[in-house]
Chains A and B, each alone.
Chain A
């Protein structure tokens, strides 16, 4: 039987390695442009949208997986849970388009 403390240590190591690898990816919104337009991420990463505009925007996944509201001059974030190449747009200004490629 494995001592309890070894199991705990293993779990802590695993958690540590997960958090060390999860990254935060910045996307800036300025004058109705998502920049960078396309980002690469992994499941568990966080995307932070930084809206510099005087208007509210959304980051709405084309596959309806997520829908993030980003107020004017505010930031909003999303933890990526599912892999895939996801095209997204702003519901208020559908001419604003971006893409997140999420690796498993």
Chain B
């Protein structure tokens, strides 16, 4: 259990470049809600950038799928936290996720054509892998509310699907 928790933290650290203090407390439900929502929103932003730059139909279709799915999931998340009267709470993990995504977008903005497509899709594979690792090992085990946990579990299945979808698109681009 501790190993899993550490693995989850490590996954987030790799993604965000943030170092967690040893033995730091597990995230609370308001923080988990914020992290999950932020992760979805950042992927929507990445997809919007892709739609503005790419000319590849498979990449466009993938980006459209990401916007549609993450918008639907985040709407459900908002409905749930409203119902539970949980106020999502900003936290260092959400901040670090956002900073890493902003940096990535700046890096991708310098590319175009097939180079952009490959880099965007490769990042989508890596991003979903990391978020899935964090969901599995940290966020889902830490969630105390049953409905929040259930939403995160469905979210994990959806994002695992996205990861496979991104892997297929990446294979097509080669």
Residues of B within 8 A of A (CB): 65, 68-69, 72-73, 75-76, 154, 157-158, 160-162, 164-165, 168
Closest CB-CB distance, A52 to chain B, in whole Å? 11
Which of A31, A72, A92, A95 is B65 in contact with, Cβ under 8 Å?
A92
**Chain A residues within an 8 Å CB radius of B157:** 31-32, 93, 95
Interface residue ranges of A63-101 to B (CB < 8 Å)? 72, 90-96
Bound complex: CA of A62 vs CA of B75, how far in Å?
A: 32
Whether A94 lies near B154 (C-beta < 8 A) is no
Q: How large is the interface on A (under 10, 10 to 19, 20 to 34, 35 or more residues)?
A: 10 to 19
- The residue in chain B whose Cβ has the minimal distance to the Cβ of A95 is B161
Q: Is the interface of B mostly helix, strand, loop or mixed?
A: helix
Whether A94 lies near B165 (C-beta < 8 A) is yes
Residues of A within 8 A of B (CB): 31-32, 54-56, 72, 90-96
Closest CB-CB distance, B158 to chain A, in whole Å? 6
Q: Is the interface of A mostly helix, strand, loop or mixed?
A: loop
Given A31-B154, A92-B65, A94-B168, CB of A72 within 8 Å of CB of B161: no
Bound complex: CA of A55 vs CA of B73, how far in Å?
A: 8
**Chain A residues within an 8 Å CB radius of B73:** 54-55
**Chain A residues within an 8 Å CB radius of B168:** 94
- The residue in chain A whose Cβ has the minimal distance to the Cβ of B164 is A94
Bound complex: CA of A99 vs CA of B161, how far in Å?
A: 18
Bound complex: CA of A54 vs CA of B155, how far in Å?
A: 11
Bound complex: CA of A94 vs CA of B96, how far in Å?
A: 30
Whether A32 lies near B165 (C-beta < 8 A) is no
Given contacts A54-B72, A92-B165, A94-B164, 10 further A-B contacts (CB under 8 A): A31-B154, A55-B68, A55-B72, A55-B73, A91-B165, A93-B161, A94-B165, A94-B168, A95-B157, A96-B161
Bound complex: CA of A95 vs CA of B161, how far in Å?
A: 5
Bound complex: CA of A56 vs CA of B61, how far in Å?
A: 13
Given A31-B154, A32-B154, CB of A95 within 8 Å of CB of B160: yes
Bound complex: CA of A1 vs CA of B111, how far in Å?
A: 78
Bound complex: CA of A55 vs CA of B158, how far in Å?
A: 9
Closest CB-CB distance, B152 to chain A, in whole Å? 12
- The residue in chain B whose Cβ has the minimal distance to the Cβ of A57 is B161
Closest CB-CB distance, A67 to chain B, in whole Å? 13
Whether B161 lies near A90 (C-beta < 8 A) is yes
**Chain B residues within an 8 Å CB radius of A72:** 72
Bound complex: CA of A98 vs CA of B108, how far in Å?
A: 37
